[in-house]
C-alpha cells in the first residue's frame, strides 16, 4: 500500500520518523554521490542533532546559519535542526561582504555551518559578528586546527564529522518540538528594502509538503529530480517535502549543466522534474541528441516559463510540463493548477482553498474581476503562512495591514477564477532565479570612488525575468570599464552584477526628492547605455564564490 503521511503529523521530525518507519529501506534523497534511505536519514539526523547539542551547545531556539553548496550534509542539517527545535537559517552561497554580514548579524546567528569555500568567504567579516560563537566546517581537506585560527580567536571551530561522532548516544533527550516552534528563518528580497527574514514554523513546512504533493501529484513510486539549490526555499517546498510526505525519493544535482541535466535525469530513471524557467530555456537551447525521449519522465515543472516554451519542451522531450503556480517564501503556494484540474497556460492557477486571496486597490478595497490590483492573502487554517519578519515588527505590521498579507505583486483574476501575475509593485528584480533588492545593491555600490548618486532598476531580459541596469552619477570622470566591472565583481554576488551601465548628470526626482525610477525604466537601454555582457565582461562559474 502506498505511503501517505497522516495529516495529523505536524512537525518535520515527526514526518521523517513516520516515513522512516513505513519506508525504512526506500531511498529518500541523493545529492551527488551521497544518498540516504529514510531509515539512514533518520539515524543521521538524530546523530547530528545529538552532536550539535553536546559538542556545540545548540539548543531549541538557537539560530544556526548554513552557508554551503547543495550536499547530503545540507539535508542532514535540515532534519537535524528540525529535530532539535533549533532555527535553520539557510544562506545563499554567493553572498559576500556586506550582503553576507547583514544577514548573519540580522538573525544573530550563534552557530554557522559552512563548506570550505564558505569558510574562506566569511573570514574577512568575522570581527563584525558579535553573536557568532561556533563554526562547523563541512568537508574540509585541511585539519580544523589549520583553518587560520588567528581569524577565529573568540570562535570555536569544529569539523562536521567530528560533531556527528561526538555524542555517546543518539537516544533523544532533548524536547520534542511542536508545530508552532520556529523551524527556519529564510531571507527574501521580494520587496524594496534590505532583506527580511521570514519566520517559518514546523507546521508550515509539513503543510508545504502536503500542498505541493497535491499540486504536482507526487506519488510513492516517484523518483523526483531537481537542480534547485538546497539553500533556497524552492528545493524544499517543491521537491524534498512533497517526497517526504508521500514516501517518494528525490535526487538533487549539486551543479546545473544545461547539456547534462536531461541525460542525467534519464540515467537516474527520474519520473518528475522540478526546476526554474531559465533552466528550461537553457536546456532548450542545447543541441538535440539521439534518444532524448527515451526516459521514465511523466511530468516536469519549470516556473516561470512562457506557454510557447512549455509547448516546445513538451514536443522536444515528450513530457507534460506543469508551470501554473505562484507563491512567496512568506506563503507558498498561493495559487496553483494540478495536472488533472482546470488549467490555463499563462495563468498561475486557481487560489488554493486554505487561503483567502483578494485583489485590492490602494485602499485595500477588492477590485472587480479582470481589474488589476495588489494580491493579498489571509489564512483559513493554521500553518499556511509565515509568522512574521524576524526582528522587524514594523515591517510585519505593514505587510499585515488590515489583517491581510500584502504580497507586493500586482495581479488580476479572470472570469474562470484563475490568477494572472501582471507586475511587481516594488522595485525588486528577479535575475538568474534570484530575487535582487535594488536598495541592497545600491547600498553595496556606495563605496564606488566618486559616486554621487546611484539607482538600480530592471530591464526585460531576452531569457525571461530581468536584467539589471545601474544609473550612476559621478563627481569625477567615469572609471575604465574594466575597473568598474572589477568593483562590481568584488562587492556584489554574481547574480546582482548589473549588465547595463549608464552615466547620467543627475537622477530624476520628485518634488519630495524621491528617485523616479519609472522614468529611468522608461529610458530603458539607450544609445548611451553600456552593455557589459556585449563588451565581454562576465563572471565564470569558478569565480562565483570568490572572496
Query: Distance between CA 413 and CA 541 in Å, rounded?
Result: 41
Residue 302 domain-assigned (yes or no):
no
Q: Answer whether residue 267 is part of any domain.
A: no
On whether both 473 and 525 belong to a single domain, the answer is: yes
Domain end (from 411, 426, 441): 426
Q: Is residue 513 part of a domain?
A: yes
Per the CB < 8 A criterion, the answer to whether 224 and 272 are in contact is: yes
Q: Within this chain, do residues 397 and 435 fall inside the same structural domain, yes or no? A: no
- pLDDT tens for the chain, 547 residues long, are 467 777 788 899 999 999 989 889 999 999 999 999 999 999 999 999 999 999 999 999 999 999 999 999 999 999 999 999 999 999 999 898 888 999 999 999 999 999 999 999 999 999 899 999 999 999 866 556 565 555 566 899 999 999 998 887 777 788 899 999 999 999 986 445 678 999 999 999 999 998 888 777 888 899 999 999 998 877 888 789 988 988 999 999 999 999 999 999 999 999 999 998 888 989 999 999 999 999 999 999 988 788 889 999 999 999 999 888 899 899 999 999 876 777 888 899 999 999 999 999 989 999 999 998 999 999 999 999 999 999 999 999 999 999 999 998 888 999 999 999 876 676 667 777 777 778 788 888 988 998 988 999 988 887 777 889 999 999 888 999 999 999 999 899 888 899 999 999 988 875 455 677 878 888 889 889 999 999 999 888 888 886 5
What nine digits make up the cell of 412?
A: 488580476
User: What CATH number is attached to the domain comprising 472?
Assistant: 3.30.300.30
- Count up the domains in the chain and report the number: 3
| Rounded CA separation 303/461 (Å) | 16
Sorted by sequence, the CB contacts under 8 Å of residue 381 that are 6+ apart come out as 354
Residue 261 lies in a domain: no
Residues 418 and 536 occupy one common structural domain: no
**Cell, residue 12:** 518535520
CB 358 within 8 A of CB 404: yes
Do 118 and 149 have their domain in common? yes
Same-domain check for residues 65 and 192: yes
Q: Where on the phi/psi map is residue 512: left (φ > 0), alpha (ψ -120 to 50), or beta?
A: alpha
The pLDDT value given to residue 191: 43
Residue pair 132/110 in contact (Cβ under 8 Å)? The answer is yes
Q: pTM for this structure?
A: 0.84
Cα torsion 147, 66, 86, 406: sign: positive
Owning domain of residue 61: 12-21+32-202
Helix axes of 38-51 and 12-22: crossing angle, nearest 10 degrees: 140
Domain stop point among 386, 402, 426: 426
At 510, is the secondary structure helix, strand, or coil? coil
How many other C-beta atoms are found inside a 10 Å radius of the C-beta of residue 132? 23
CA distances from 390 to 79, 186, 229, 413, 439 (A): 21, 9, 23, 32, 19
Q: Is residue 2 part of a domain?
A: no
Report how far residue 498's alpha carbon sits from residue 481's, in angstroms, rounded to the nearest whole number: 12
Residue 389 confidence (pLDDT): 96
Predicted pLDDT at 424: 67
The answer to the question of residue 235 being in a domain is: no
One domain, residues 41 and 174: yes
| CATH value at residue 118 | 3.40.50.12780
Q: How many angstroms separate the CA atoms of 482 and 226, rounded?
A: 36
Asked whether residue 454 falls in the same domain as residue 532, the answer is: yes
477 occurs within a structural domain: yes
8 CB-near residues (< 8 Å, 6+ apart): none
Examine the domain organization and report whether 484 and 518 are in the same domain. yes
Q: Are residues 69 and 160 in the same domain?
A: yes
- Integer Cα distance of 62 and 128 in angstroms: 19
Query: Do residues 132 and 171 share a domain?
Result: yes
pLDDT of residue 190: 44
Report in angstroms the alpha-carbon separations of 380 from 296, 351, 353, 356: 38, 12, 8, 7
Helices 202-216 and 12-22 cross at an angle (nearest 10°) of 50
Which three three-digit cell numbers place residue 153?
580567536
Residue-wise over 305-338: b if at least 16 C-beta within 10 A, else e?
beeebbebbeeebebebbbbbbbbbbbbbbbbbb
Residue 527 and residue 381 share a domain: no
Do 422 and 435 lie in a common domain?
Answer: no
Which of these three, 162, 177, 202, is where a domain ends? 202
538 lies in some domain: yes
Amino acid at each position: 500500500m502506498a505511503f501517505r503521511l497522516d495529516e495529523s503529523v505536524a512537525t518535520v521530525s515527526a514526518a521523517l520518523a513516520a516515513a522512516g518507519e513505513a519506508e525504512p529501506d526506500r531511498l529518500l534523497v541523493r545529492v551527488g554521490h551521497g544518498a540516504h534511505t529514510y531509515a539512514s536519514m533518520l539515524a543521521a539526523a538524530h546523530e547530528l542533532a545529538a552532536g550539535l547539542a553536546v559538542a556545540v551547545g545548540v539548543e531549541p531556539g538557537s539560530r544556526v546559519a548554513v552557508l554551503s553548496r547543495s550536499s547530503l550534509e545540507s539535508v542532514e542539517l535540515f532534519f537535524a535542526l528540525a529535530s532539535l527545535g533549533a532555527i535553520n537559517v539557510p544562506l545563499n552561497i554567493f553572498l559576500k561582504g556586506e550582503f553576507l554580514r547583514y544577514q548573519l548579524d540580522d538573525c544573530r546567528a550563534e552557530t554557522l555551518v559552512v563548506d570550505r569555500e564558505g569558510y574562506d568567504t566569511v573570514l574577512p567579516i568575522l570581527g563584525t559578528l558579535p553573536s557568532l560563537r561556533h563554526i562547523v566546517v563541512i568537508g574540509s581537506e585541511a585539519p580544523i586546527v589549520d583553518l587560520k585560527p588567528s581569524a577565529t580567536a573568540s570562535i570555536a571551530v569544529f569539523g562536521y564529522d567530528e560533531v556527528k561522532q561526538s555524542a555517546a548516544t543518539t537516544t533523544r533527550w532533548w524536547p520534542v518540538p511542536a508545530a508552532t516552534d520556529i523551524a527556519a528563518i529564510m531571507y527574501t528580497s521580494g520587496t524594496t528594502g534590505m532583506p527580511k527574514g521570514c519566520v517559518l514554523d514546523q507546521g508550515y513546512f509539513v503543510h508545504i509538503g502536503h500542498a505541493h504533493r497535491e499540486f504536482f501529484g507526487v506519488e510513492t513510486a516517484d523518483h523526483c529530480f531537481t537542480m534547485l539549490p538546497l539553500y533556497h526555499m524552492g528545493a524544499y517546498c517543491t521537491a524534498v517535502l512533497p517526497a517526504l510526505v508521500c514516501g517518494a525519493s528525490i535526487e538533487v544535482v549539486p551543479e546545473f549543466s544545461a547539456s547534462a541535466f536531461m541525460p542525467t535525469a534519464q540515467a537516474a530513471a527520474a519520473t518528475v522534474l522540478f526546476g526554474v524557467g531559465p533552466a528550461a530555456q537553457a536546456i532548450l537551447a542545447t543541441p538535440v541528441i539521439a534518444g532524448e525521449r527515451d526516459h521514465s519522465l511523466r511530468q516536469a515543472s519549470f516556473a516561470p516559463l512562457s506557454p510557447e516554451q512549455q509547448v516546445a519542451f513538451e514536443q522536444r522531450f515528450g513530457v507534460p510540463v506543469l508551470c501554473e503556480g505562484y507563491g512567496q517564501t512568506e506563503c507558498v503556494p498561493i495559487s496553483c493548477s494540478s495536472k488533472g484540474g482546470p488549467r490555463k497556460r499563462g495563468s498561475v492557477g486557481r487560489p488554493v482553498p486554505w487561503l483567502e486571496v483578494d485583489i485590492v486597490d490602494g485602499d485595500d478595497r477588492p477590485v472587480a474581476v479582470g481589474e488589476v490590483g495588489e494580491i493579498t492573502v489571509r489564512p483559513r487554517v493554521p500553518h499556511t503562512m509565515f509568522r512574521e519578519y524576524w526582528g522587524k515588527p514594523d515591517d510585519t505590521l505593514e505587510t499585515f495591514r488590515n489583517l491581510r498579507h500584502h504580497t507586493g505583486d500586482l495581479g488580476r483574476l479572470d472570469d474562470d477564477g484563475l490568477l494572472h501575475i501582471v507586475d511587481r509593485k516594488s522595485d525588486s528584480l528577479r535575475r538568474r532565479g534570484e530575487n535582487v533588492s535594488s536598495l541592497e545593491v545600491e547600498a553595496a555600490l556606495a563605496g564606488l570612488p566618486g559616486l554621487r548618486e546611484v539607482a538600480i532598476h530592471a530591464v526585460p531580459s531576452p531569457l525571461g525575468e530581468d536584467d539589471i541596469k545601474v544609473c550612476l552619477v559621478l563627481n569625477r570622470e567615469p572609471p575604465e570599464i574594466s575597473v568598474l566591472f572589477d568593483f562590481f565583481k568584488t562587492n556584489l554576488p554574481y547574480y546582482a552584477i548589473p549588465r547595463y551601465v549608464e552615466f547620467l548628470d543627475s537622477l530624476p526626482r520628485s518634488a519630495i526628492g524621491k528617485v523616479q525610477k519609472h522614468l529611468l525604466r522608461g529610458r530603458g537601454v539607450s544609445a548611451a547605455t553600456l552593455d557589459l555582457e556585449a563588451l565581454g565582461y562576465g563572471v565564470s562559474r569558478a569565480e562565483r564564490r570568490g572572496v
